[in-house]
């Protein structure tokens, strides 16, 4: 099955939008950006054996490859619009590509993202996606925008994806709810949009809360103090892992793709209101303070640190 058939197969299934002047099938796509907004661009690649186990279902790989990219747009408060897909495959397998597109296009459809181009090449399984969105000038949730005194918030629950990976690694039967968090992460697009103009700094939790909030602190020239007991945990995580391992997964586990963001205390009610309006739970977990680094305190007010270093991706 040569490259051109593959591209036709993708083109036939890809939806379009009215701002796509020319989509898949030429040397490049022609797109009409809206006036008065900034273009927001992110790229992320997933490699077999590094970012997902080799036996992952093609539909899950397709979903996740787009999800991790949309999560970057969410973390900028951007509205998604277009994406390109670069797919390296050991061999052109129709069933594999159809399954992959099932997952990829299901998520694209949820967010009205048009697949406008890309390429297919022969090589070890690797999926590289570039996403494009828009945000109003001055409203993006930049990493360098946290200020001393800001509250630190996180969406959803933490540690679920890392817990599923831990179960998979140990050979234990994996909990379905946890596994879904690992295989089908949900980018927090609606929350990101709702936080535009309300929150200050933002990042998505891909490498683990401590690592990712650490990026925000470094970029903002500040520190963060977190309350360990405030970190949100799903019921599935609480059933499957006892403290202290649960705490470690929540603080240092990656791949959750929740949003961690900061906002001044005087907009606390606004944060809760806009999050409720889009149906995404958010939890206060700490505060931005002077200094550097991220410090976590337990219920006794003692410094706490996860038993080992930051989260490592699968592989």
- Respond yes or no on whether the N-terminal peptide bond of residue 244 is cis (omega within 30° of 0): yes
Instruction: Answer yes or no: are the C-beta atoms of 157 and 253 closer than 8 Å.
Output: no
Beta carbon of residue 163, minimum distance to a copy of itself (angstroms, whole number) = 23
Binding region for a copy of itself (CB under 8 A) out of 24-32, 158-166, 239-247, 282-290: 24-32
- Record the tokens describing residue 240, joined without a space: 């499957």
Query: 212: annotated binding-site residue?
Result: no
Residue 4: how many CB atoms within 10 A of its CB?
A: 10
Please report whether residue 130 would count as binding a copy of itself according to CB under 8 A. yes
Residue 308: how many CB atoms within 10 A of its CB?
A: 9
CA angle (136 as vertex; 186, 108 as ends), nearest 5: 30
Phi, psi of 104 (to 5 degrees): -60, -50
Query: 256: annotated binding-site residue?
Result: no
Binding a copy of itself by CB under 8 A: which of 10, 59, 76, 195?
A: 76
Instruction: Answer yes or no: are the C-beta atoms of 66 and 129 closer than 8 Å.
Output: yes
Strand partners, 202: 261
When the beta carbons of 90 and 265 are compared against a copy of itself, the nearer one is 90
Alpha-carbon gap, residue 151 to 116, rounded angstroms: 39
Phi/psi zone of residue 235: left (φ > 0), alpha (ψ -120 to 50 degrees), beta? alpha
Please report whether residue 132 would count as binding a copy of itself according to CB under 8 A. yes
Burial class from Cβ neighbours inside 10 Å (0-12, 13-18, 19+) for residue 73 reads buried
When the beta carbons of 174 and 187 are compared against a copy of itself, the nearer one is 187
Please report whether residue 28 would count as binding a copy of itself according to CB under 8 A. yes
Query: 300: annotated binding-site residue?
Result: no
Number of chain positions touching a copy of itself (CB under 8 A): 62
Please report whether residue 202 would count as binding a copy of itself according to CB under 8 A. yes
Binding a copy of itself by CB under 8 A: which of 6, 59, 84, 236?
A: 84
Please report whether residue 29 would count as binding a copy of itself according to CB under 8 A. yes
Beta carbon of residue 241, minimum distance to a copy of itself (angstroms, whole number) = 27
When the beta carbons of 123 and 291 are compared against a copy of itself, the nearer one is 123
Instruction: Answer yes or no: are the C-beta atoms of 149 and 54 closer than 8 Å.
Output: no
Beta carbon of residue 88, minimum distance to a copy of itself (angstroms, whole number) = 6
- Which residues of the chain form contacts with a copy of itself (CB under 8 A)? 21-22, 25-33, 35, 38-51, 71-73, 75-76, 78, 82, 84-86, 88, 116-119, 121-124, 126, 128, 130-133, 135, 137, 140, 142-144, 202-204, 219, 315
Report the binding-site residues for ATP: 118-119, 143, 206
């Amino acid at each position: 099955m040569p490259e051109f058939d593959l591209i036709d197969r993708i083109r036939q299934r890809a939806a379009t939008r009215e701002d796509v002047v020319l989509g898949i099938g030429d040397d490049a796509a022609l797109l009409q950006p809206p006036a008065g907004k900034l273009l927001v661009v992110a790229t992320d690649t997933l490699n077999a054996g590094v970012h997902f186990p080799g036996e992952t279902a093609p539909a899950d790989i397709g979903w996740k490859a787009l999800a991790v990219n949309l999560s970057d747009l969410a973390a900028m408060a951007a509205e998604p619009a277009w994406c390109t897909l670069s797919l390296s495959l050991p061999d052109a397998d129709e069933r594999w590509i159809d399954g992959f597109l099932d997952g990829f296009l299901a998520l694209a459809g949820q967010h009205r993202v048009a697949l406008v181009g890309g390429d297919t090449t022969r090589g070890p399984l690797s999926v590289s996606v570039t996403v494009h969105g828009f945000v109003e000038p001055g409203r993006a949730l930049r990493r360098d925008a946290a200020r001393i005194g800001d509250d630190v918030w996180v969406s959803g629950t933490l540690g679920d994806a890392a817990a599923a990976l831990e179960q998979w690694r140990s050979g234990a039967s994996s909990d379905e709810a946890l596994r879904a968090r690992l295989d089908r992460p949900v980018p927090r697009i609606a929350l990101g949009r709702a936080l535009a103009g309300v929150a200050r700094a933002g990042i998505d939790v891909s490498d683990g809360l401590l690592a990712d909030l650490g990026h925000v602190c470094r970029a903002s020239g500040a520190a963060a103090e977190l309350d360990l007991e405030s970190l949100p945990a799903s019921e599935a995580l609480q059933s499957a892992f006892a403290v202290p391992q649960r705490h470690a997964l929540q603080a240092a586990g990656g791949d959750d793709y929740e949003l961690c963001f900061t906002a001044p205390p005087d907009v606390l009610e606004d944060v809760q209101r806009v999050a409720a309006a889009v149906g995404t739970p958010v939890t206060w977990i700490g505060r931005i303070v002077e200094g550097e680094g991220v410090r976590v305190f337990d219920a006794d007010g003692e410094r706490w640190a996860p038993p080992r270093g930051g989260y490592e991706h699968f592989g």
